[in-house]
Amino acid sequence: MAFRTLGVLTLILRSGFDRTEILSALDAVVDIYLPDFTYADGRMADRYSSGAETYPEVTEAALLEMHRQVGVARPARDGLMYRGLIIRHLVMLNGVSGTTQVVQWITARLPKDTYVSLMSQYRPMYRASSSRRARKPVACCGQLPPA
């Protein structure tokens, strides 16, 4: 997705599970990376996002490459971001997404002022109802919604 602002094109790439070879080709092209870091555990990634057992390793390498290219996102004087890395993480119930491990990895490997968007809007879809671990959405303050 791209936004035109004052005649300048800011290119935003929202992804995360990308090979570093592809990201290298985008060096000096993308202004803002907005990747998802959904799973800390490859077994969970494989179970809930079929065939994604290498998701954590691929995503971690991609995040390091994205940071190398654009650095930490910093608001300009007008309050808008024009360049940088903003990591999104979808919080899922029962530790499926490994939120603690994701945040620990980010704080250990990236600058402390890296922007992270913790999202709680998980909604079970498709075959999630067949999984006891994934069938309920995340509710405010860690409380389960009524069954």
Q: Is residue 6 part of a domain?
A: yes
Q: Which domain holds residue 34?
A: 2-140
Q: Is residue 74 part of a domain?
A: yes
pLDDT at 141: 47
Structure confidence at residue 146 as a pLDDT band (50, 70, 90): very low
For residue 106, give the nearest of 117, 114, 98 by alpha carbon: 114
Highest mean pLDDT among 2-6, 22-26, 142-146: 22-26
Q: Is residue 20 part of a domain?
A: yes
pLDDT at 117: 94
pLDDT at 112: 96
Partner residues linked to 86 by β-bridges: 115
Q: How many domains does the chain have?
A: 1
Q: pTM of the predicted model, to two decimals?
A: 0.78
Q: Is residue 147 part of a domain?
A: no
Q: Is residue 146 part of a domain?
A: no
- Distance in Å from the first CA to the final CA of the chain: 37
Q: Is residue 105 part of a domain?
A: yes
Which DSSP symbol is given to 28? T
Q: Sheet holding 32-33: strands in order across?
A: 2-5, 8-13, 32-33, 84-90, 115-119
User: Does residue 84 or residue 50 have the better pLDDT?
Assistant: 84
Q: Is residue 93 part of a domain?
A: yes
Q: Is the pLDDT of residue 145 over 50?
A: no
For residue 21, give the nearest of 60, 63, 65 by alpha carbon: 65
